[in-house]
Amino acid sequence: MQYSRRSPPFALQRRHVLGGALATAAAALFPWTPVFPVEVDADQAFLALSILLTGRNNLDPALGRRLRQALQSGNDRLDQHTTDLLGLLETRKVPLPDLQAILATEKTAFAALPGQIMTAWYLGVVGKGPQAKVLAFEHALNAVAVSDKLKPPTYAYGAPGSWSHNPNA
């Protein structure tokens, strides 16, 4: 383009506008990661990992908080192990059927964590032996999975959980 009185030397041209729009659209599609570390709530990270491991999107956050606190009583590095395992799953896109074998071969510090989390969600129990804590019974995933046809067994003579209310009140 020749310089004239009508066009200054750095005039905005249609190709510059189109190129800028294309660059903006491409930048919007690119998955940006923040430069500064993002603080994630420990309960949210535990729930996110639990959703990935169980394959269920409707996990109870209150129950997740109680399970995390109970697991944390036996593992003071639970929050760090949770974020490490989440990072491994997200960066390496490890298929869940292969996860335990990969963790065992790499001898990671959090190799037992997926089993502990799955046991906590499906059985509602954290720990073993005399230190075991039952945190969920009728709301554990093993009972929820079959709740349309079966009710969890109980020694009470009413519906599950009916023993918790005083019948004489």
Q: Give the model confidence (pLDDT) of 122-148 as tens digits.
A: 888 888 888 888 888 778 888 777 777
Q: Could you read off the pLDDT of 98-115 as tens digits, one per residue?
A: 888 888 888 888 888 888
144: amino acid identity, one letter: V
What is the pTM (predicted TM-score) of this model? 0.64
> Of 58-72, 114-128, 151-165, which range is least confident?
151-165
- Whole-number pLDDT of residue 27: 63
Q: Are 127 and 112 in contact (CB under 8 A)?
A: no
Cα–Cα separations (whole angstroms), residue 88 to 55, 112, 133, 161: 17, 14, 29, 39
* Percent of the chain clearing pLDDT 90 (strictly above): 4
CB neighbours of 152 closer than 8 A, spacing ≥ 6?
A: 137, 138, 140, 143, 160
pLDDT confidence bin for 90, thresholds 50/70/90: confident
Cα 21 to Cα 23: distance, rounded to the nearest angstrom: 5
For 126, the enclosing helix (H) or strand (E) is strand 125-126
152 or 89: which leads in pLDDT: 89
Q: How far apart are the first and last CA of the chain?
A: 92
**Tokens in use for 159?**
């519906």
100 or 32: which leads in pLDDT: 100
- Whole-number pLDDT of residue 105: 83
Decide if pLDDT at 65 tops 70: yes
- Whole-number pLDDT of residue 35: 47
Q: Could you read off the pLDDT of 4-30 as tens digits, one per residue?
A: 556 555 555 667 666 666 666 666 666
For 134, the enclosing helix (H) or strand (E) is strand 133-134
